[in-house]
Structure 1
């Protein structure tokens, strides 16, 4: 991994950040008030 140099490290860091954002999902950006929604209500648009 380290043989890729600085650009490789940057690409890995970027991919890791994107991966964490995808794993976190939209819920990480939904305001706390959204937790009060009823189970059948539509989710807010991203």
Structure 2
């Protein structure tokens, strides 16, 4: 019996720059929709990468 660990690549969210929120143009802020407020996103696989 073995354990397989999936390889996960994480990177700082490019939408909020890792802050977890975005500034609104008319003032205030809201939770980043891209990373759901965590500031970290799973890195997207590049073309040809499995």
TM value normalised by structure 1: 0.25
Identify the structure with bigger relative contact order (alpha carbons < 8 Å, sequence gap 6+). Answer: 2
Going by fraction, where is strand more abundant, 1 or 2? 2
Query: Based on CA coordinates, which of the two structures has the bigger radius of gyration?
Result: 1
Going by fraction, where is helix more abundant, 1 or 2? 1
